[in-house]
């Protein structure tokens, strides 16, 4: 079963607007990561937030993490047509001493209209 569940499944916005995507997960995590996938390509890492962090920024990206609610959000500000892609959250639920492996959600399809 998948750890992360993204919401909404699809999002369509106008260029210049902000896009907010949410991810919920089930078990305790070490970190949560967001990835982007352009059509027909492999995934590309966007940002990582650790379990002891609440917010991180990277350029136009802002990620928040609420471990009490087991949820994260990815905000893309001032969206561009080039942001059109699928976005995935992934969680590392590794226990101490265990091996690292990421569990991905089903993804969110973002369409940014010019």
Residue 86's nearest CA partner among 25, 48, 40 is 40
Instruction: For tokens 């993490």, name the residue.
Output: 65
Q: Are 63 and 72 in contact (CB under 8 A)?
A: yes
From CA 27, how far away is CA 22, in angstroms rounded? Answer: 16
| Chain residues that interact with another protein, rule: CB under 8 A | 1-2, 31, 33, 35, 41-45, 48, 88, 90, 92, 99-107
Closest distance of CB 98 from another protein, Å: 10
Closest distance of CB 74 from another protein, Å: 15
Closest distance of CB 15 from another protein, Å: 26
Helix (H/G/I), strand (E/B), else coil: 55: strand
Q: Which is nearer to another protein, 20 or 109 (CB)?
A: 109
Q: Which is nearer to another protein, 45 or 113 (CB)?
A: 45
């Amino acid at each position: 079963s998948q750890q992360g569940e993204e919401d909404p499944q699809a999002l369509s916005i106008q260029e210049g607007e902000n896009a907010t995507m949410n991810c919920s997960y089930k078990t305790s995590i070490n970190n949560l990561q967001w990835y982007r996938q352009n059509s027909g390509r492999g995934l590309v890492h966007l940002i990582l937030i650790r379990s002891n962090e609440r917010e991180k920024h990277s350029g136009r990206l802002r990620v928040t993490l609420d471990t009490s609610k087991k949820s994260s959000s990815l905000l893309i500000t001032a969206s561009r047509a080039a942001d059109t892609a699928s976005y995935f959250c992934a969680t590392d639920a590794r226990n101490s001493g265990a091996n690292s492996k990421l569990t991905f959600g089903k993804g969110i399809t973002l369409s940014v209209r010019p």
